[in-house]
Every structure is written in C-alpha cells, then in structure tokens.
Amino acid sequence: MDVTITPSSLRGSARAPPSKSYTHRAILAAGYADGALVREPLDSADPHATARAVEAFGGDVSESDDGLAVEGFAGRPDVPDDVIDCANSGTTMRLVTGTAALADGLTVLTGDDSLRSRPQGPLLDAIGGLGGRAESTRHNGQAPLVIGGPIPGGEVSIPGDVSSQYITALLMAGAVAEEGIEIELETELKSAPYVDITLELLAEFGVEAEPVGADGGEVRSAGASGFRVPGNQSYEPEGGEYRVPGDFSSISYLLAAGVLAAEEGLTVRGAKPSAQGDTAIVEIVERMGGDVEWDREEGTIEASKSDLSGVEVDVGDTPDLLPTIATLGAVANGETRITDCEHVRYKETDRVSAMADELGKMGASVTEHEDELVIHGDESELSGATVEGHDDHRIIMALSLAGLVAEGETTVRGAEHVDVSFPDFFDVLYDLGAAIEEQ
C-alpha cells in the first residue's frame, strides 16, 4: 500500500496505542507464568509473533473482551513441534531465544528477510557460555538460529552496546533457570531505559532482578556494569493480570504532528508516565521550542503548531526517536544534530541512512556520519516527493509527518508496515484532519 499526504491543518484528540515494548514482555512473562490476563495489549503484527512463540512453547494465547488470556508453561517451555517464525519482529526473536535455551531439546527460529539480516551473535555466544547450544545456520550470527537447552544458568558476559534486548532475554529466562543468571557487561549499556522497562515489568510479575553498579539516577539501569536475577522464581502478577501502558514511541509521532501542523492544538491521550525512555520526546520537543504541556496525572499532552529551532540530541538510550527527531529537524530553524546513533543502523533497516536518503529526496539538507545525523534546517525546504518506507514502520510514520508540511504531494511507499506498532496510524491522522489518500 502507498499513501499520499498533502499539507494539512490538524486539530482534535487522539489516543496513543499501547506500548509495543511492554506488550511483548507481558505476553512472554504470562507465558513464563501459569498464566495471566494481559489487559490493553497492542494488537499488531510484532506482538502477534510473540504470542505465536508462547503457543509454540506449550502455552495458549486467546483474545477476550478484557485483553489476551494467556495460559502459560510455568517456566518449563516445551520443545516446539515446528520452526518458530518471528516474521519481522526482532524483539520476539531475541526474547524467545532465551526461552528456547530453557527447553530440553532444539528450537529453530527464523524470520523474514529483514530479520534474518539482524545481529544475534552476542546472544548466541552468551547462551553458549551458559552451557546451551546456540548456532546460526549460516555461521554469520544471524537467523535462522538453532537453540538447545536446558541451560542451568550461571555467569555470563555480553556487550551492552549492540542491543538491550539481549539483556532482557537473559533476565526473563534467568528468573526460572535453576541457578539464575549474573550478567557482566563488556561495554557500556545502550538503550538503558529499555532494560528499565524489563525490570519494571518483572517486578509487576513478582520477579526479583537488579542492575549491578548502576549510577543510581532516574534511569535505573544507567551506568550498570551488569545485572543479576536469582533463579527458581515464579512469574505471578498481582491479581493474575497486567495492564499495558501507552507507547511513547508512538506518542512521538502524534506529538510531532501537533507541533508541526495543529494550529488549533492537538490532545494526545494515554500518556501516563512509565519507565519508557522515549518519554524524552516531550523534553526534546520543548527544547526545540514546541508548545507542549504534559499533564502526567491525567496522562494527556497538549501540543500546538510552533516555530522550532534545532538542537543536539543523544539517542544512545532512545534509538526509536531518531526518525521523529530527524523530521522535526528538517523543518526547524538552524541545525539539529542527532548523536550516538550507530546502533540505530541495526533496526528493521538502517534508520540513519534511510532518513538521510528519504528526507534528502524531499529537499532536506542532511549530513550523515557513522554515529551522527545532522539536519541543516536553514538549508532545507521540504517539497513533496515519492519516498520509500524501507519496510520500516518508524520510517514510514516519520516521513508521513514530513508530508504534512511539505509543499505538494508526498507519497510514502510500502505504508502498510505501520501495522507493526501503530496499525491505525493513518486512520488517526485522517480523523485529526490530515489529507490522506491510500492507494
């Protein structure tokens, strides 16, 4: 599906979808438990992949009026009857690689072309170091993967600057392993707030886990030298249920839409505070001069069209915000410098290059470095163009925002991939007043 957007004036209110990060973890945590009700989950392609994996390990996931009713495998996953296809979901593959290492036999994990190009080597090495079998069938550290267990747990070292999801996989599996797992980080931890999400959710499921040597600041995992999770624990959420919070990665697009195109103001609902690092988007937009007011207690954000100025933003902990920030930078006065972003190249696509290339087609002046993206707002004047979505939901949504303010028509190709995290994104924009045509 292609989508064409023309300049529009937005108004009204919209609710953010539930968090994809929390939904993945909640479904898998319910699988590790005897079972649980996951309330208000994100209903999209990626969490569906995690639900299928839970079923492959012996659980059951069914829709109910209240959410997803999960019957778990109580910390003892079966060996799957068939290959687990994680589709395009890197989170699914990494998290359930840890689950597979607990099964008494071999599990094969694969995915689509994009997922089979993403790095899994450090997690495979870690599982091997814990006594499991962990192989890439092509010996390149990429899927398809063959995982064998059961691992007893123990001590392991792993780099912290490739993917925080490796840490999450080990913590979630280590809680039910016989010996637990102690993780030593070989390098500085990137995306620390995502590990905080894991720690927060584990606590909600009654599981003890903690960072070692952390800074003690607002981000609990920041500066950690490692993590520790005792073994033989049980996943038992209070009342047998867990409610998924709103997704600040998705909120970033609605907030940006407000400061770009909502002269009469736009209200974003479902914005309750949580451990998500992407809550930083509120402060980033404020620094750029955006007219934003966040009522944390009510969980609402008011945003109005604003004159923006370029800023410098380190996305070491918030990689998913890069596409949104890049689009804002293309319409801001002055220079927007996005730093510490090399790890953003290893997402569904190389998001650094993708945003540089596609915004360039629309008239933005962009300079790309290995670990930095610089958008020269004063030298940019956005005009409509046909741009590629790169089969990446975040690239598609960010470029669609640019289309709201670019002169003429902007066509985003492959727009159906928003179903990964924000399935009704274009319906929401249309209801807010955006001129959108699907083809």
CB 255 within 8 A of CB 283: no
Neighbours of 204 (CB within 10 A): 18
Q: What angle do CA 110, 115, 120 make, to 5 degrees?
A: 80
394 CB contacts (<8 Å, ≥6 apart)?
Answer: 249, 320, 323, 324, 347, 348, 351, 421
Q: How many CA atoms lie within 13 A of 148 on its CB side?
A: 7
Torsion angle of alpha carbons 250, 314, 304, 407, nearest 10°? -90
In angstroms and rounded to an integer, the radius of gyration of the C-alpha atoms of the chain is: 21
- Written as one letter, the residue type at 285 is V
- Alpha-carbon gap, residue 183 to 54, rounded angstroms: 25
- Length of the chain, please? 439
Is 94 within any annotated ligand binding site? no
Catalytic residue among 247, 278, 320, 392: 320
Is 351 within any annotated ligand binding site? yes
125 counts as catalytic: no
Is 365 within any annotated ligand binding site? no
CB 405 within 8 A of CB 260: yes
Name the residue among 84, 148, 141 with its Cα closest to residue 110: 84
- Alpha-carbon gap, residue 21 to 276, rounded angstroms: 9
Is 305 within any annotated ligand binding site? no
Is 320 within any annotated ligand binding site? yes
Is 25 within any annotated ligand binding site? yes
- Alpha-carbon gap, residue 339 to 204, rounded angstroms: 34
Q: How many CA atoms lie within 13 A of 437 on its CB side?
A: 7
Is 52 within any annotated ligand binding site? no
In the chain the first and final C-alpha atoms are separated, in Å, by 6
Name the residue among 149, 146, 152, 187 with its Cα closest to residue 166: 187
Q: Which residues are annotated as a binding site for 3-phosphoshikimate?
A: 20-21, 25, 163-165, 191, 320, 347
Q: Which residues are annotated as a binding site?
A: 20-21, 25, 90, 118, 163-165, 191, 320, 347, 351, 394
Active site positions, annotated: 320
Q: Which residues are annotated as a binding site for phosphoenolpyruvate?
A: 20, 90, 118, 165, 351, 394
